Amino acid sequence: MGNDGGTIPSRKEILNFTQRKLGGVLAKSDVSKKERELWKLAGAFGYCQLSHKRLSKPIVSDYMGRLFNKEDVILYLIAKRKRKKARKSKKSKELKDGSDEKKRHNAKEDTSEDSDPFPHLRTMKDLVELNIEYNEHDGTVKCPLSGKVFHLRSEKDNDINQLQLCYLVPCGCTVGKEILDQYLDVEYKKAHVSANKRKSRCYVKMRCPVCGSVTCGGDIVDINTRDDTEKERLAERMRDLEDSGLTHSLKPQRKASDGHTKRKGDPKDNIKKDAKKQKLI
Ligand SMILES: [Zn+2]
């Protein structure tokens, strides 16, 4: 599925690839597109999606539950901002100049920006820092609720299938999905949410079972989910947040120079939206 007509790589092939290529920093120039796809499949849990280095704390995650090293994201954002600034000053110079050829050249450069694999990462507010019991030496994560240990870099089928983790926004506490689902079940029952609505992670306010801070059912993110329904839900959650002027971390979007939020919406609308969702329950 979604393999662009190519052969589907076996898990062994993927793992051999990761072992061979991912011991340290992945040199960008000698990696083909196919190899990158292989890496994506195998390395989603144990490696930073941006730098391809092994995960090391502090770890951050975007709205789709992808994992990154915070340090690498900061470097990426600085470089991105520098490129943007350079483009802007070049553009204004060329506009003053008024040369059509230069304008065309400019348009070409604008398209090249579209190749950014993570255009949704604009500021650190687009990420949540995880409160995760991660041991970077052996690549394990311990669930603070159940004590269960997850092996992020394991080669065993069983370990890979067990990799079901999620985190809560905004606190970032990371727990096993199974135990969190049990907790949610109790919370939803308390809020009289019907059984079929519970599966869709609806917006019911609750306390994080790890740190006690306020969160809600809709703000739970499955890490590297393979479930298409959950992927759709996460994308819809992000659209709702953007419409309300909020980022993934629930912080307001960056203000434009005129003092208004860059994207449409008002944070207050989110509260209304939450209320609306609760009525639907
Ligand atoms: Zn928490």
Q: 84 C-alpha to center of ligand 1: Å?
A: 35
Q: What is the DSSP letter of 166?
A: E
Better-predicted residue by pLDDT, 30 or 142 = 142
Spacing, Cα 212 to ligand 1 middle (Å): 6
Asked whether the predicted pLDDT for residue 196 surpasses 80, the reply is no
Give the Å distance between the CA of 255 and the centre of ligand 1.
28
The amino acid at residue 246 is L
Q: What are phi and psi of 269, to 5 degrees?
A: -60, -30
115: number of Cβ within 10 Å: 7
Q: Report the separation in Å between the CA atom of 210 and the middle of ligand 1, taken as the mean of its atom positions.
A: 5
Cα-to-centroid distance, 250 and ligand 1 (Å): 14
Taking every pair of Cα atoms in the chain, the longest distance, rounded to a whole number of angstroms, is 67
In the reported structure, the alpha carbon of residue 220 is separated from the centroid of ligand 1 by a whole-number distance in angstroms of 11
pLDDT of residue 157: 74
Are 213 and 207 contacting, i.e. CB atoms less than 8 angstroms apart? yes
Residue 280 binned pLDDT confidence (cut-offs 50, 70, 90): very low
Instruction: Give the span between the Cα atoms of 100 and 106, in whole angstroms.
Output: 10
CA 101–ligand 1 middle distance (angstroms): 54
Whole-number pLDDT of residue 25: 43
CB atoms within 10 A of CB 192: 8
User: What is the spatial distance between Cα 67 and Cα 59, in angstroms, rounded to a whole number?
Assistant: 7
pLDDT of residue 239: 96
* pLDDT at residue 173, as a whole number: 98
Q: Please state whether the peptide bond connecting residue 170 to the residue before it is cis, i.e. omega within 30 degrees of 0.
A: yes
Q: How confident is the model at residue 154 (pLDDT cuts 50, 70, 90)?
A: confident
Adjacency order of strands within the sheet including 140-142: 133-135, 140-142, 149-151
Read off the DSSP letter of residue 42.
H
State the distance from the centre of ligand 1 to the C-alpha of 61, rounded, in angstroms.
15
Least confident of 41-55, 117-131, 206-220: 41-55
Confidence of residue 67 (pLDDT cuts 50, 70, 90): very high
Q: Supply the DSSP string of 208-235, one letter for each residue.
A: -TTT--EEEGGGEEETT---HHHHHHHH
Q: How far is the CA of 164 from the centre of ligand 1 (A)?
A: 18
What Å distances lie between residue 135 and 39, 57, 132, 138, 165, CA to CA?
Answer: 22, 9, 9, 6, 15
> How many Cβ atoms are within 10 Å of 208's Cβ, its own excluded?
22
CA 183 / ligand 1 centre spacing (Å)? 13
CA of 211 to the centre of ligand 1 (A): 4
Q: What is the pLDDT of residues 87-122, one digit of tens each?
A: 888 888 877 776 555 555 555 555 455 578 899 999
* Helix 70-97 × helix 100-113 angle, to 10°: 170
Condensed to tens digits (0 to 9), the pLDDT of residues 123-147 reads 999 999 999 999 999 999 999 999 9
What is the whole-number distance in angstroms between the Cα of residue 209 and the centre of ligand 1?
Answer: 7
Model confidence at 268: pLDDT above 80: no
- Tokens found for residue 209: 């079972």
Nearest CA to 124 among 254, 258, 233?
254
What pLDDT is attached to residue 5? 41
pLDDT band at residue 9 using 50, 70 and 90 as cut-offs? low
Weakest-pLDDT range from 7-11, 138-142, 157-161, 190-194: 7-11
Distance 170 CA to ligand 1 centre (A): 8
Distance 166 CA to ligand 1 centre (A): 11
Which pLDDT score, from 0 to 100, does residue 103 have? 56
Q: Are 229 and 214 in contact (CB under 8 A)?
A: no
